[in-house]
Amino acid sequence: MDAKIDRILSKYDFGSRVTAYEQFGNGHINWTYRVETENGDLFVLQRINTYVFQDPVGLMRNIELLTNFMREKEKDPRKVLELVPAKDGRTYIVTEDDEYWRVYVFVKDSVCYDTAETPELFKESGRAFGNFQNILSDFPVSTLIETIPNFHNTPVRYAAFEKAVAEDSAKRVSGVRADIDNYLSEKPFASFLLDKAAAGEIPLRVTHNDTKINNVLFDRTTNQALCIVDLDTTMPGFAAMDFGDCIRYAGNNGAEDEQDLEKVFLRMDLFRTFAEGFCGVSAKNLSRAELILCPEAAKLITLETGLRFLTDYLQGDVYFHTAYPEHNLVRARTQFKLAMDMDANLESMREIIVSVLDAR
């Protein structure tokens, strides 16, 4: 066992001795371990990436506020993420080299999926994120800090991208001119939702902001959605972007890092299925004006995410975890292909949203 992790674990009282731990999950940002104890209890130990989250204390306060609020409304303990306090009572610990670590209860008999293995599973994740909207609809937004300022502000992301191109710090620009031009050609679209908000057409809400299907835990036997995890970026945002990010990730026929672009396109059947799940549950709180923008939001978040992957590629892979040198470039290409496919299907997507809303 790793001496440092042993020291971190010794700051917690797990009820019985830790017998094993192993790396766990597929997150691109934090470092995650599954911890097992002699009594057979399971926990999730996570190191917070402080390059990405520069105010880890404020971040942990957000998560405390959010989970406490949700627990007031939802009594089933498997349905709300639960932080485990350290022996000193705090919900995180800081190591001598300034690393921030935290522990969650591992939700019993839960599984998570990296793809929408069945349409029903995807629909269920839609219900779960719709329910997340509902449960937080009266959360006092002003108590949350922005854990990453301008996280889904696409024009600001474009500015960072153009700066990375100009600086060319990893000397990769000359090899990817065509990709850079592709992304620049979509720059006029970047302010689409912000413009709608400025015109008063859509409100800011508490949104999750990272709605990949692998941030939903399902019951191992029934495949019912239990709990939404990864609340690190839960803060004010546009509801349509949460919808869009689910589609970006699990509505794609290929993986986020699929190398064969022929396989990358939006599955319209999955789009409909997801819309039924999400809108069916959330339409009582969200307005028609916001839900009708879900198709454009899906394209926008796909472009933005791809732009972030390409920016990171140009900066030498300093932000997202990568498994090989071209990984961020591959991801940027899949996202662009997917965004263009969405662009070609905006009208059909809109028809689906309208039919789902009208059927209610």
Options 27, 130, 254, 277; binder of Mg ion; rule CB under 5 A: 27
Site for Mg ion, residues 222 to 261, rule: CB under 5 A: 230
52 binds, among ligand GN1, Mg ion, none (CB under 5 to 8 A by kind): ligand GN1
Mask of contacts with ligand GN1, 19-58, x by CB under 6 A? --------xxx----------------------x------
Sole binder of ligand GN1 in the list 302, 305, 315, 334 (CB under 6 A): 305
Helix (H, G, I), strand (E, B) or coil at 227: strand
Taking alpha carbons only, the member of 34, 273, 73, 314 closest to residue 174 is 314
**Whole-angstrom distance, CA of residue 224 vs CA of residue 221:** 8
| 124, 179, 186, 230: residue in contact with ligand GN1 (rule CB under 6 A) | 230
Question: d(Cα 227, Cα 231) in Å, to the nearest integer?
Answer: 11
Residue 233 interacts with ligand GN1 (CB under 6 A): yes or no: yes
Nearest-angstrom CA–CA distance, 275 and 353: 7
82 versus 114: smaller Cβ distance to ligand GN1: 114
- Tell me which of Mg ion, ligand GN1, none is bound by residue 233, counting a contact when its beta carbon lies within the kind-specific cut-off of 5 to 8 angstroms: ligand GN1
- By CB under 6 A, name the one of 124, 242, 256, 341 that touches ligand GN1: 256
Write the DSSP assignment of 60-76 as a string of letters.
HHHHHHHHHHHHHH---
**Cα–Cα distance for residue pair 335/328, rounded to 1 Å:** 10
Query: DSSP H helical segments within 74-153, as ranges?
Result: 119-135
Cβ(101)–Cβ(128) under 8 Å? Answer: no
Q: Letter for the amino acid at 50?
A: T
- The one of ligand GN1, Mg ion, none whose footprint includes residue 216, by CB under 5 to 8 A per kind, is none
Pick from 208, 212, 299, 333: which binds ligand GN1 (CB under 6 A)? Answer: 212
Quickly list DSSP for 157-178.
Answer: HHHHHHHHHHH-TTS-GGGGHH
81 binds ligand GN1 (CB under 6 A): no
List interacting residues with ligand GN1 (CB under 6 A): 27-29, 52, 210, 212, 230, 232-233, 256, 305
